[in-house]
Homo-oligomer: A and B are copies of this chain.
Amino acid sequence: MKKQPTREKLLDITFEEVYINGYTATSVDAILKKASVPKGSMYHHFKSKKELVLAMVKERLFPKMDAFFSYEIKENESITQSFRNTFLVVSKNRLLVTYGCPLYRLMVELSATDKEFDTVLSIKANEMKEGIKAMLEQGIALGEFDKSLNSETFATYMLTSVWGILSLSPSLSSSKTFLIQSQYILDSLEAYLLKKDGSL
């Protein structure tokens, strides 16, 4: 168990603390205590609390999300099935089901009042929307969905409604209810499904 470099340890602990408590409610001192890092070290690596958290967003939060969502469709798998699989993976992630999407939580807390956070977080949100949009368009191109499907607005709908469902109070959320509700999202996609033979 070799010693983790200070900067990396700080980013890890900052992710955990800010995810659960939010940006404002997380104090620098609390992060330092949990990480067992003295103040001077932190302010050597980061010029302020905000810089620390912005670095955490770019070097921890974003990579975590990139690793989670692939937007790739496996061979012989329909786009619908691909979405279903992603929902299944999400439902199995205890933290996501309990506390919601960390990107979304930060957006809700900070986007209205902090332009810099809003810009950075919106870029990732947009990237995710584009990923979903590309999948939907692939589905249209392959004849799975009707051309009348507006991939832009439907992608945004899928993304934000999943965020909303996930961000229920921890006391009310469960992986089972998430799965049922994600099915309703797929139901709304059904309206654009081009039924072929009775293969399903």
A interface vs B, CB < 8 Å? 20-22, 24-25, 98-100, 104-105, 107-109, 111-113, 118, 121-122, 125-126, 150, 153-154, 156-157, 160-165, 167-172, 177, 180-181, 184-185, 187-188, 190-191
Instruction: Kindly provide the distance from the CB of A31 to the nearest chain B CB, expressed in whole angstroms.
Output: 16
Taking a contact as CB atoms under 8 Å apart, the answer to whether A109 and B108 are in contact is: yes
13 sample A-B contacts, Cβ–Cβ < 8 Å, listed by A number: A21-B112, A98-B112, A105-B108, A108-B109, A111-B169, A112-B170, A118-B170, A153-B181, A156-B181, A160-B165, A160-B181, A164-B164, A164-B167
Complex interface: chain B residues within 8 A of A184 (CB): 153-154, 157, 188
Q: A104-B167, A109-B109, A126-B172 are in contact. List 18 more A-B contacts (CB 8 A).
A: A20-B112, A22-B22, A100-B108, A107-B167, A111-B169, A111-B170, A118-B171, A122-B169, A122-B172, A125-B168, A154-B184, A157-B165, A161-B161, A163-B164, A164-B165, A164-B167, A185-B188, A187-B188
Given the complex, which residues of B lie within 8 Å of A188, measured CB to CB? 184-185, 187-188, 190
Whether A187 contacts B191 by the Cβ 8 Å rule is yes
A21 to B72 CA separation, bound complex (whole angstroms):
38
In the complex, A180 Cα to B113 Cα: how many Å?
26
A118 contacts across to B, CB distance below 8 A? 169-171
